[in-house]
Amino acid sequence: MDVNLKEHLKELEMRHTGLEVRQSLEELDNILDDDFFEIGSSGYMFDKKECLESGVVLTEMSLHNYEIYPLSSDLVLSTYFIVDKTRNRNTLRSSIWKLIDDRWKLYFHQGTISPLQLSEVIKDLT
């Protein structure tokens, strides 16, 4: 596995879930692929246009157990666990990142609310 790719995508994922990017439509627009869609933890589906027009939930989150699974040279599945401190809940997350014009863009994202606690799933402290 390419450690540099994993670290790069993890950084992009942390930016995507971070308050700074979520508060900036320009930054969010730069990260999301034009064909982006999401299955939210609410069970509803959203596309890029809806995310940019309606905004995204602004919460303080920490990301854990980040892993990547390359699907091809320009497509990567990532999985991780989120502790949402604002809403006091945890979610299992998955994303598909797509390499477009030498830039990784978020193509798909899903969040599933989980009863698991961080102590039950932690693999490392990063």
pTM, 2 dp: 0.86
Number of structural domains, the chain? 1
Tell me the per-residue pLDDT of 72-93, one tens digit each, with 9 for 90 and over. Answer: 999 999 999 999 888 889 999 9
Q: How far apart are CA 85 and CA 121, in angstroms?
A: 17
Asked if residue 91 is part of any domain, the answer here is yes
Q: What is the pLDDT of residue 83?
A: 92
CATH classification at residue 18: 3.10.450.50
The answer to whether residue 113 sits within a structural domain is yes
Residue 14 placed within a domain: yes
CA–CA separation, 16 and 31 (whole Å): 7
| CB-based burial label for 1 (10 Å; 0-12, 13-18, 19+) | exposed
Flag whether 114 is in a domain: yes
pLDDT of residue 2: 73
* 78 closest CA partner among 60, 88, 64, 61: 64
Query: Do 69 and 79 meet the contact criterion of CB atoms below 8 Å apart?
Result: yes
**Is 84 part of a structural domain of the chain?**
yes
The pLDDT of residue 126: 47
Residue 126 inside a domain? The answer is: no
The three-class DSSP label of residue 42 is: coil
Predicted local distance difference test score (pLDDT) of residue 32:
93
Predicted confidence (pLDDT) per residue in 43-52, tens digit:
899 999 988 8
Segments forming the whole domain that contains residue 88:
3-121
